[in-house]
Structure 1
Amino acid sequence: MSIGIYIHVPFCLQKCNYCDFISYPYDAGLAASYVYALEREMKLHAGKMPADQREVRTVFLGGGTPSLLSGQHLALILENCRRYFRIRDDAEITVECNPGTVTREKFALMRRAGVNRISIGVQAFQSRILSFLGRIHSFAQVTEAVKACRDEGIDNISCDLIYGIPGQTGQDWQETLDRVLNLSPAHISAYGLKVEPETPLYKAVASGSVVPCDEDAELEMYQYVISILAARGFKHYEISNFALPGMEARHNLIYWLNEEYLGLGPAAHSMLDRHRFSNVKCVASYIKKLEKNELAVQEIISLSLEDEISETVFLGLRLLGGLDTLAFARRFGCSAADIFGPQLKKLTDLGLIKINANSIRLTEKGLPLANEVFVEFI
């Protein structure tokens, strides 16, 4: 079976106040060393993998801010992917971009390198909210980036948005959605803001200088995005993701279907052959390891069959179509009910899930309580 490749680009111009992802200040020399180390990592992994695992159906460059890299470096990364792996002709190739770090020329280089999907970090329309989040772009730059992307022939554009932000009103959220929909994206990801430990936002909330968004207000924002996007022809296909017909994020579906993927770059995670493994977080340590022709893996976790079954259930329940029970039975030789009968009955009685002939899925009531559902299968 073919796999997905995730490439972590660990550079940002400025760390956002809510972000706990691994990133470092951009430095051109360090970025060049990173790209060179990344090629070595590809070569080392490809040399250990059987031919069927070297077939790749999705590539996703995330971060950090991948669009901080030069167009030449982005093209080189994808050229090296093709050198060491067999990238399918119909592969989905995505690059995350932040407004203000892209130009028409950079999009042109990406398009020629095979990029066919762009994910833009919009987050909000209002300048005061962008400033609160620590974002350094304006919505005018979002508009410019979308136009430049389309002018260079990349039409599959996804926009990332955040709701439940302290100080954000329902009217703010409606205005953000209206402005983004005017850009005609093919895909929208809408995430409730999470206050992650060790971030500036966490410290501000802990000190009392920032008051988190009211839970009821956040729920109303979530319900609103579901209704407005449905009215505009978007399919709500995963808890936080909406797509026009046929434009679902194929790379992310690999995660939700608990299929195999290879992570490259500092702090990247992989799941292959029932093993999860992760790379060192420090970009300097990552580069140093690969300069010695050593993989930068720092942790390997062997998954039991029970682990794989559990993860397949709760990841599958993230999808609005639910867990495909026929596919589950083919994969594991038993039904989900054989293993999780009591849990399924409990959740059904609570009205949080619905069991159909070929699926188990969250109900409308269960959707905002998804984490409470998932814990039953861990």
Structure 2
Amino acid sequence: MQISSAYIHIPFCQQICHYCDFVKFFYDERAADQYLEALQKEMAGYVPDEKQVMKTIYVGGGTPTVLTAEQLERLLKMIDDHFDIEACEEYTFEANPGDLDQKKADLLSYYGVNRISLGVQTFDNQLLEELGRVHKEEDVYINIERLRRAGITNISIDLMYGLPNQSVELFEESVDKALELNLPHYSSYSLQIEPKTVFHQRYKKGELSKPPEEEEVEMYHLLQRKLKDQGIYHYEISNFSTPGYESKHNLTYWDNAYYYGIGAGAHGYLPGKRTINIRPLPAYLEKVGKDGRPVLHEDPVEKKEMMEEEMFLGLRKMEGVSITRFREKYGENMNEVFDGAVEQLKEKELLEEVGEYVRLTEKGKLFGNDVFASFLIDE
């Protein structure tokens, strides 16, 4: 299977959000220059000669748009030097509302970026402040207008639910404001309190609490209902789009396909192995300077792991996992491989079989982790 996707990580942020556990550092212009130089070397290690044809490229963070316009153009040129942008079906940049002036929006468009993922999270200014976000509601509208003026209309926004001090009514207000923007794609995630975050420290001290679980479930169902009413269909546990605007890059992950992971802390999936890059910025820079390969771990992926991951990842999609594709890919019968787990989960009404697909039921979507655990193959 050809490697036709690339994830590129830019770890800098203007401010560290209180919930974020991604690889990130406070933006420093000199450090960003050094990082871009190292990124160029790592990229050249994967694609040393001719430009490689990519189906999808995703530049995430951190906050890629926190770079200066000059640094942003340097990054865009670098990507263009190594990958065939004209042949790329989907080229996404993450952006934070407030970071994106018109010059940066125009640069992204000029260099072939055709999709933007905006980290909105909520339209409530008080909640934004409590999350440690630096933008305000107004910035969302300004940024979207700038992107559209630059010719980029394939825009996705993220919304979070289950936030401290967030009621169902407050979440509904954010959903309604998001839908008024008439965008082709929406992502929505429940807040997870991750270790080594500001929220985790507060949670341990008893200074932070999330809404009750039943309210989180109500928020999720409200989200599903409102987007469906607007003709925006639910194609993955946390993602919704109008037909044809599904995230092709994220489908690479859910289809268990190969991709490069480039940058500090980036994860990649190459034939026979998953890679994890060094996270600390000084160590990443030093390792790239030595040999251009900042890989911390290479974990072999055998057939057993591939089949498990096919189920974990594929069941996130609303269409589920193709029984036929599974058999063609691995030469095995799905139910036999997992010792009858499919039939057992169907009896519990957590899975259902629709045509040639096995997928989560509405009940199963609420107990996804329990379902996924059923597809661990005993040694």
**Offset from partner CA, 1:204-256 (integer Å, 9 cap, x none):** 12211122220000000000000000000101000000001100000000000
Q: Counterpart of 1:104?
A: 102
SS, match of residue 363 in structure 2: coil
Deviation at 1:87?
4.1
**Is 2:298 the counterpart of 1:300?**
yes
One-letter amino acid of the structure 2 residue matched with residue 294 of structure 1 = G
Unpaired runs of at least 5, structure 1: none
One-letter amino acid of the structure 2 residue matched with residue 3 of structure 1 = S
The separation in 2 between residues aligned to 1:315 and 1:54, in whole angstroms, is: 26
One-letter amino acid of the structure 2 residue matched with residue 236 of structure 1 = H
Q: Counterpart of 2:72?
A: 74
Q: Counterpart of 1:330?
A: 328
**Is 2:25 the counterpart of 1:9?**
no
- Equivalent positions of 1:148-163 (< 5 A) are 148-163=146-161
The separation in 2 between residues aligned to 1:332 and 1:88, in whole angstroms, is: 33
Deviation at 1:2?
4.2
Does the 8 Å CA contact 1:2/1:55 hold for their aligned counterparts?
no
One-letter amino acid of the structure 2 residue matched with residue 352 of structure 1 = L
The separation in 2 between residues aligned to 1:54 and 1:330, in whole angstroms, is: 28
The separation in 2 between residues aligned to 1:306 and 1:102, in whole angstroms, is: 44
Deviation at 1:346?
1.6
Does the 8 Å CA contact 1:71/1:110 hold for their aligned counterparts?
no
- Equivalent positions of 1:33-44 (< 5 A) are 33-44=34-45
Q: Counterpart of 2:28?
A: 27
The separation in 1 between residues aligned to 2:48 and 2:107, in whole angstroms, is: 29
- Equivalent positions of 1:163-174 (< 5 A) are 163-174=161-172
Q: Counterpart of 1:221?
A: 219
Q: Counterpart of 1:276?
A: 274
Does the 8 Å CA contact 2:54/2:87 hold for their aligned counterparts?
no
SS, match of residue 292 in structure 1: helix
Farther-moved stretch of structure 1 (341-350 vs 148-157): 341-350
Unpaired runs of at least 5, structure 2: none
Q: Counterpart of 1:320?
A: 318
Please, which of 184, 187, 190 is the counterpart of residue 185 of structure 2?
187
**CA distance change for structure 1 residues 88 and 368 in 2, over 3 Å: closer, same or farther?**
farther
TM-score (norm 1): 0.96
SS, match of residue 182 in structure 2: coil
Deviation at 1:274?
1.9
Q: Counterpart of 1:240?
A: 238
Q: Counterpart of 2:198?
A: 200
Deviation at 1:323?
0.4
One-letter amino acid of the structure 2 residue matched with residue 31 of structure 1 = A
The separation in 1 between residues aligned to 2:67 and 2:10, in whole angstroms, is: 8
The separation in 2 between residues aligned to 1:78 and 1:340, in whole angstroms, is: 45
**Offset from partner CA, 1:272-299 (integer Å, 9 cap, x none):** 0120011110112212222223311111
One-letter amino acid of the structure 1 residue matched with residue 18 of structure 2 = N
**Offset from partner CA, 1:79-122 (integer Å, 9 cap, x none):** 32332334452421101000111111110011001100000010
Deviation at 1:133?
0.8
One-letter amino acid of the structure 2 residue matched with residue 117 of structure 1 = R
How many residues are aligned here? 375
Deviation at 1:345?
1.8
Does the 8 Å CA contact 2:236/2:318 hold for their aligned counterparts?
yes
The percent identity for this pair of structures is 36
One-letter amino acid of the structure 2 residue matched with residue 118 of structure 1 = I
Deviation at 1:55?
2.8
**CA distance change for structure 1 residues 145 and 34 in 2, over 3 Å: closer, same or farther?**
same
The separation in 2 between residues aligned to 1:289 and 1:46, in whole angstroms, is: 18
Does the 8 Å CA contact 1:274/1:308 hold for their aligned counterparts?
no
Deviation at 1:314?
1.4
Q: Counterpart of 2:375?
A: 377
Q: Counterpart of 2:54?
A: 56
The separation in 1 between residues aligned to 2:131 and 2:74, in whole angstroms, is: 32
- RMSD (CA atoms): 1.5
SS, match of residue 18 in structure 2: coil
SS, match of residue 87 in structure 2: strand
The separation in 2 between residues aligned to 1:168 and 1:232, in whole angstroms, is: 24
SS, match of residue 367 in structure 2: helix
The separation in 2 between residues aligned to 1:246 and 1:335, in whole angstroms, is: 31
**Is 2:125 the counterpart of 1:124?**
no
**Is 2:46 the counterpart of 1:45?**
yes
The separation in 2 between residues aligned to 1:284 and 1:171, in whole angstroms, is: 45
